[in-house]
A and B are shown apart, each in its own frame.
Chain A
């Protein structure tokens, strides 16, 4: 029996504590074995020198061809990412598809608790929520109207802080359909 593995791919990202916390929670939410892979370089050409940001779609396009044995791939990076239509994004994913990406850049600097005690746990929690959110898209889940659900739209950090790492009942049912694909 081939076990379906969800791989967390650090892209020039070295915060192992955060990666393992993300892997643990993702494994629980998606009921899949989850592992943290080796660090990799961001793809050449992903940096848009005019905007001074990294092109999320290009990173994703490169990421999807990594480890072919993995069922899903979640890239984690600390650089600021964008799509052509957005000034920035917290993450990006194929809807549906193999690969998703989350950036910690805006989740860290936009925090009102930055530098204050407890900030670290808020930051890790945001990255986990965004990681699960983007992975949810790879299973075909769209944005959810339930503000507590991890699949509710992540328009700003306030809304990310307000939601949980969990999927609501409706999204859980849809996820089961996605996992059976």
Chain B
């Protein structure tokens, strides 16, 4: 998908504005022109650009002064300086002030063509770098999504159908089932795969932090906003926006999101100009959103916008056929990372994996294999390498009583401290005698 680039040409000479504007339009760019730095700064108050091409020598505010002001407001903006009177001093100063390049008028056709290509390649790289940094911050870890069970094969078929469209997708499923992995798979198979996959977790941040991450902000929008920052909504343009744990969005955030989904434009925090954006939305939740709508905690109109195509990922316990193939897959990938020469899982250990309920789903299975690999002293994983599974009580109590939860909590702590009564009692802030009586009461044992 060819993204039209917005370029502002600033030059006091009419013939340059016309010829440079024409040159760039022939490359498919959207070009605005300004006859002075003053006019350009006025335009920049209401419109944003991917690249500024600015003449150095202009009456009034000159190009270098303009560069300085522009960079103060938005250090990310790309600026090429041009001049008819090249000098080493002005070139050095322009680069010091943050210009990407400095070119002498008139241009050599080959030079300017390659320069503009390089600028956009640099911009793409910088966007990806920034995105990766943000993703590390906002997204949880994920593993690959594999499976051969009928329910998963049906799900993969649905993914193929959905990927080729631009429809909004709502992915539901318990924690650890691989909702983000599925969202990435849809993105990779879609026509937007050349764009970026941008994820944000609504359960992980405060409302104000989410707002600034999503919408970005203008310099001075709040204390500490020293520079203008692009938000994830802007970075996702041309790609896919993944809204994780959407049911946790606050009422205000729900309204803001609804507006963006309807109008495809938004304003940065503290901003006055609309920023247009174009992304595909994939949302995910482990909660029952329909129930949340009934309870009035999730907006019905937003739910309808998000629930165009719903994909439910079944929990691992409902597709036990997938456990062996997934366990082997994790063994293969993790042993390389951990530099272990363990090649297989014994049939007894596999039985253990098959009998466990996996409340943490695929993520828990991955962690279990990693833990087993770390402690394993043989050539294949044995049941004793996974004692933490056998000793673990069922994931949730059959009833909701305090006693049932207390039993699980204490059993978990005993596992954690390898049944060292003193340490466990200390962690639970009860005396050893009380812990013994609880163990007796709940019939807990190390077996």
Q: Within 8 Å CB of A145, what residues of B? A: 2
The residue that A86 contacts in the complex, of B13, B107, B114, with Cβ under 8 A, is B107
Given known pairs A57-B18, A95-B26, A142-B27, the reply for A87 and B2 (CB within 8 Å) is: no
A84 sits at the interface (CB 8 A): yes
The residues of B that contact A86 with a CB separation of less than 8 Å are 19, 23, 106-109, 112
Q: CA A28 – CA B138 in complex, angstroms?
A: 56
**In whole angstroms, how far apart are the Cα atoms of A77 and B18 in the complex?**
23
A88 CB within 8 Å of chain B: yes
**Chain B residues near A129 (CB-CB < 8 A):** none
Would you call the interface of chain A mostly helix, strand, loop, or mixed?
loop
Q: List, in ascending order, chain B residues with CB within 8 A of A155's CB.
A: 109-110, 113-114
Q: How far is the CA of A156 from the CA of B109 in the complex (A)?
A: 8
Q: Are B106 and A137 in contact (CB under 8 A)?
A: no
In the complex, the answer to whether B105 meets A85 with C-beta atoms within 8 Å is yes
B28: shortest Cβ distance to chain A, in Å? 4
Beta-carbon contacts under 8 Å, A109-166 to B: 137, 142-143, 145, 153-156
Q: Could you tell me the dominant secondary structure of chain B's interface residues?
A: helix
B15: CB under 8 A from chain A? yes
A57, A153, A156, most chain B CB atoms within 10 A? A153
Task: Say whether B95 faces chain A, with CB atoms less than 8 Å apart.
Answer: no
Q: A84-B13, A86-B107, A143-B28 are in contact. Are A153 and B20 (CB under 8 A)?
A: no
A153 touches B113 (CB 8 A): yes
Q: Does B19 contact A85, Cβ atoms closer than 8 Å?
A: yes
Min CB gap B444→A, angstroms: 67
B16: A residues at CB distance < 8 A: 84-85
> For the complex, is B25 an interface residue (Cβ under 8 Å from A)?
yes
Q: Which B residues lie within 8 Å of A87 (CB)?
A: 106-109
Contacts of B348 in A (CB 8 A): none
Within 8 A of B (CB), among A41-84: 57, 82-84
In angstroms, how far is the closest chain B Cβ from the Cβ of A129? 15
Q: Are B25 and A95 in contact (CB under 8 A)?
A: yes
Report B-chain residues with C-beta under 8 Å of the C-beta of A142: 25-28
Known pairs A84-B19, A95-B22; A143 contacts B27 (CB<8 A): yes
- Of the four ranges (under 10, 10 to 19, 20 to 34, 35 or more), the interface on chain A belongs to 10 to 19
Chain A residue with Cβ nearest B14: A84
CA distance A95 to B22 in the complex (A): 8
Complex: A90 Cα to B18 Cα, angstroms:
18
Contact (Cβ within 8 A) B25 A84: no
Count chain A CB atoms within 10 A of each CB in B22, B107, B109 and give the residue with the most: B109
A145 to chain B, nearest CB (A): 7
CB neighbours (8 Å) of B112 from chain A are: 86
Question: How far apart are B21's CB and chain A's nearest CB, in angstroms?
Answer: 9
Whether the pair B26, A84 counts as a contact (CB closer than 8 A) is no
Question: Nearest-CB distance from A45 to chain B (Å)?
Answer: 14
A87 to B110, CA, bound (A): 10
> Which residue of chain B is the closest to A141 with respect to CB atoms?
B26
Minimum Cβ distance to chain B for residue A146 (Å):
11
| C-alpha spacing A85/B114, complex, angstroms | 16
Chain A residues with CB below 8 A from B110, complex form:
155-156
Q: Is A107 an interface residue, CB under 8 A from the partner? A: no
Known A-B contacts A137-B26, A143-B26; the reply to A57 vs B109 at CB < 8 A is no
CB distance from A19 to the nearest CB of B (A): 25
Return chain B residues, CB-CB under 8 Å to A34: none
- Give chain B interface residues in 88-147, CB to chain A under 8 Å: 105-110, 112-114
CA distance A156 to B110 in the complex (A): 6
Check if A83 sits within 8 Å of B108, measured CB to CB.
no
Chain B 366-396: CB-based contact to A (< 8 A → 1; otherwise 0) = 0000000000000000000000000000000
Which residues of B are found within 8 Å of A143, using beta-carbon distances?
26-28
B26 touches A85 (CB 8 A): no
Asked whether any CB of chain B lies closer than 8 Å to the CB of A89, the reply is yes
Distance, CA A142 to CA B2, complexed state (A) = 12
- Which B residue's beta carbon lies closest to that of A133? B26
> Do A88 and B27 touch across chains, with their CB atoms under 8 A apart?
no
> Which single member of B20, B22, B109 contacts A88 (CB below 8 Å)?
B109
- State A83–B18 Cα separation when bound (angstroms): 10
On B, residues with C-beta under 8 Å from A are 2, 13, 15-16, 18-20, 22-23, 25-28, 105-110, 112-114
The 3 closest A-B pairs by CB, nearest first: A142-B28, A84-B15, A83-B19
Q: Give 21 pairs: A residue, B residue, CB < 8 Å, sorted on A.
A: A57-B19, A83-B19, A84-B18, A85-B16, A85-B19, A85-B23, A86-B108, A87-B108, A87-B109, A89-B109, A95-B22, A142-B25, A142-B26, A142-B28, A153-B27, A153-B113, A154-B109, A155-B110, A155-B114, A156-B109, A156-B110
**17 extra A-B contacts, CB within 8 A, seeds A84-B106, A95-B25, A143-B28:** A57-B15, A57-B18, A83-B22, A83-B106, A84-B18, A84-B19, A85-B105, A86-B106, A87-B107, A89-B109, A90-B109, A95-B26, A142-B27, A153-B26, A154-B109, A155-B113, A156-B109
Taking beta carbons and an 8 Å cutoff, which residues of A are in contact with B?
Answer: 57, 82-90, 95, 137, 142-143, 145, 153-156
